[in-house]
Amino acid sequence: MLLNGVRRAAIAQARPDGGCEKESAMAVSLRARMDLVSDPRNLDASVEEVFQLMIGLACRRVSEAPEREPDSVTAVVGFGGLLSGACVFSSGSAAALNIAGHMAGMKFSEIDDTVKDAVGEICNMLAGAWKGKIPELAANCGLSVPAVITGRDYRLHVQAPEFQLHHIYRCGDTAFEVTIVCDGVQ
């Protein structure tokens, strides 16, 4: 995988002798820390950190699924390294417009490229905040560029994940969903 090669090259460059011995020592099994990796409190803390501290929106986790809007926006950021999988942010258009408005300090009336970029950046920040809560992931897991999907009547499907965290959050009158999907752990 490309991210592993990038990581190996960065570690080798940082070492005076150019070797990759350090990566082997760092590649301790993340499987032994699955309790920390799959802890739902890390996802809640990441959402609070990104939304409250960075955007100024107070959000709370709720149990009821949001009412489905005809148009929705989904952003996906992949994980590569010790953990492979993805962070998925999904919302209706009203939540996407609200979040982008808070980020940009302006009001949006339609899902344009700026709103898509904002939703992609939110997903990127959530993925980074979540992986930063697990020391082994912080140093040994890369993030992909966000991919943003918009439209009607689509569902994202992940085949047999090793584990999945899925939470629904409400910010005022709008709601969104954040999912961490893990399809492989080294």
Q: Is the pLDDT of residue 18 over 80?
A: no
Confidence of residue 1 (pLDDT cuts 50, 70, 90): very low
Domain tally for the chain? Answer: 1
CB of 178 within 8 A of CB of 43? yes
Give the separation between CA 181 and CA 33, rounded to whole angstroms.
16
* DSSP state letter for 33: G
Average pLDDT, the chain: 85
CB of 119 within 8 A of CB of 148? yes
Please name the helix (run of DSSP H) or strand (run of DSSP E) that holds residue 41, with its range, or none: helix 40-48
Q: Which residue, 77, 78, 81, is CA-closest to 4?
A: 81
pTM: 0.82
* DSSP state letter for 22: H
Segments forming the whole domain that contains residue 75 = 29-185
Q: Is the pLDDT of residue 28 over 80?
A: no
Radius of gyration of the chain (CA): 17
Mean pLDDT, residues 36-40? 90
CATH code, domain with 80 = 3.40.1550.10
In a domain, 23, yes or no: no
Confidence of residue 31 (pLDDT cuts 50, 70, 90): confident
Q: Which residue, 93, 180, 172, is CA-closest to 137?
A: 180
**Any residues with CB less than 8 A from the CB of 126 and at least 6 apart, and which?**
46, 47, 50, 77, 87, 89, 178
CB of 59 within 8 A of CB of 43? no
In a domain, 65, yes or no: yes
